[in-house]
Structure 1
C-alpha cells in the first residue's frame, strides 16, 4: 500500500489511503479508526508519519481526535472553495440536491437595498437547499428584473449561475461578509431540527467580468454541514 521508493511523500500516500478507506466505508462517520500503533504495524511506517497524515486530515475536517478515546471519522461536510455555485458543490460530491422554493416574487427595491440597487424592481427568490433529504441552507437572492427578463419556478430548480449565464452574464467574483447566527424557532422549523445547531450567515455581492453586480444573496447555512474555504491572495495592487 505504501511505496517508499516513490517521489510522493510517504505521509501523503498514507493520507490518501486513509481517505480511500473512509470513502469505501471501512470506517463510517462517527466510528473510531485504527490506533496509531495498529496503523504503524499495518503500513510499516513510523508513528511520526502516522501522526502527520492524521494531523492533516484533522485540519481538513475529515477526522476528529478525542483525547483519551481515539480518532474518529467526522460526518462529511459540504465545502465551498473559490467561485462555485451550491449546485456545483453538491454535484462534485456526488450527492443529491433539490431546491424547495419558499418565496418567489417581484418586489419594489426595499429601502435597505436602495443603496445597492438603483433599479425599481427586483426578483426575490427564497429557496431551501436540500441535500440527501436534509435541509442545509436557506438562500434569499435579489436580482434586478431588468437584468434577467423572464424567470419561472421551474428554472429555480437548478443553479442561478446557469440562469444568469443564459441571460449573457459570466459570474466572475463575489464579495462576502460572514457572521454566526443563533438559531430561533423559525429557523428550527425551516431546517426541521428540534435542537440548536450552529448556523452561518453569508451575505454575498456577486459580480460579472465587467465588475457589474448582478445579484445579492443572503444565505444561512448549517455550519455543521457546510464549510466555506476562503483563499486570500494579493494581486498587483488589487485585493479581492
Structure 2
C-alpha cells in the first residue's frame, strides 16, 4: 500500500493505518518485530519524525510496544480474568487458541493439604502440573491438587483441555465458587524454563481453593505479568 502525500489525511495517520491493517490481517503477529524506523522512512519516502508519530500513537493505543534499543513489536494481548472463568474460557474470549502441556502427574498423600481439602493426611490426591499457552505462547504454570476419591480415573481423561469441563462432563461436578488470593512473586529458573522467559520477571501468583458439587480442590498458578491481568468488581453494600 502506498501513501498519498497529496491527501488531506496526515501522512503519519496513513502510515498508522497501514501498520494496523498489517496487524489485523495477521501479516504481523503478536510478538513480531515491526520494520525499523529507517526501513519505514526508506520504503515510504517519509521523515523519521512522521514514522515516530505513527508509532507513538500505535503505542498509546496498546497496539504495539516500543523497547529502547530493540525497536517496536506487535503487542501481545493480555488475557483477562473477570469472575470465575477457566483458563480455556479466558483465552477463547480473547480470540486466541488455548493449548496445554502436561508437565507432571503424580499420586501422593494429602499430607499438609488434608485440612484444606477436607480429607485425611493419608488419603491420596492427584498433583497435576500443566503449562498453559495462548496461541503457542506460554502464559501460566498451573498445579492442581485434587482428591483421588472424587476422580479415581482422571489420569485416563484428556487433561490438555479444560479441567472445569472434565469435572462437569465426566464427574457431574460443577464449580460453584472459589476462595482466591493474589500475590506478586519473582520467577525462578524452573518457572523461567517452562514459561520460556529470557530473563527473570515479575509473576502473578494465584492460589485458589475451588468448590464444586461435593468436591474441594486446591490450585496454585503462576502467570506472566506481561500477558495476564485480573479484574475484580468491588461494591459497597
In the other structure, the counterpart of 1:146 is 149
**1:94-123 CA deviation, whole Å, 9 max, x = no partner?**
212211111112111022x12212321111
Larger mean CA deviation between 186-195 and 122-131 belongs to 186-195
In the other structure, the counterpart of 1:200 is 204
Residues 1:83 and 1:63: Cα distance change in structure 2 (over 3 Å): farther
Between the aligned partners of 1:133 and 1:87, the Cα distance in structure 2 is 13
In the other structure, the counterpart of 1:42 is none
* Structure (1 or 2) with the larger CA radius of gyration: 2
Q: CA deviation at 1:226?
A: 0.7
Q: Does 1:164 align with 2:132?
A: no
Q: Does 1:104 align with 2:108?
A: no
Q: Is the 8 A contact 2:141 2:191 kept in 1?
A: no
Aligned residues: 188
In the other structure, the counterpart of 1:223 is 225
Q: Report the 3-state secondary structure (helix = DSSP H, G, I; strand = E; otherwise coil) of the residue aligned with 2:198.
A: coil
Taking structure 2 as the reference length, what is the TM-score of the superposition? 0.67
Residues 1:101 and 1:33: Cα distance change in structure 2 (over 3 Å): farther
Between the aligned partners of 2:157 and 2:184, the Cα distance in structure 1 is 32
In the other structure, the counterpart of 1:83 is 84
Large movers: runs of 4+ above 4 Å: 28-36, 61-65
CA RMSD of aligned residues (A): 3.2
Residues 1:233 and 1:145: Cα distance change in structure 2 (over 3 Å): farther
Q: Report the 3-state secondary structure (helix = DSSP H, G, I; strand = E; otherwise coil) of the residue aligned with 1:152.
A: helix
Q: Report the 3-state secondary structure (helix = DSSP H, G, I; strand = E; otherwise coil) of the residue aligned with 1:155.
A: coil
Q: Report the 3-state secondary structure (helix = DSSP H, G, I; strand = E; otherwise coil) of the residue aligned with 1:149.
A: coil
Q: Does 1:183 align with 2:187?
A: yes
**1:13-53 CA deviation, whole Å, 9 max, x = no partner?**
xxxxx9xx687369x778877599xx9xxxxxxxxxxxxxx
In the other structure, the counterpart of 1:24 is 24
Between the aligned partners of 2:55 and 2:199, the Cα distance in structure 1 is 33
Q: Is the 8 A contact 2:173 2:215 kept in 1?
A: no
Residues 1:35 and 1:226: Cα distance change in structure 2 (over 3 Å): closer
Q: Which sections of structure 2, spanning at least 5 residues, go unmatched?
A: 1-16, 35-51, 67-72
In the other structure, the counterpart of 1:115 is 115
Q: Is the 8 A contact 1:33 1:73 kept in 2?
A: no
Q: Which sections of structure 1, spanning at least 5 residues, go unmatched?
A: 1-17, 40-53, 66-71, 236-240
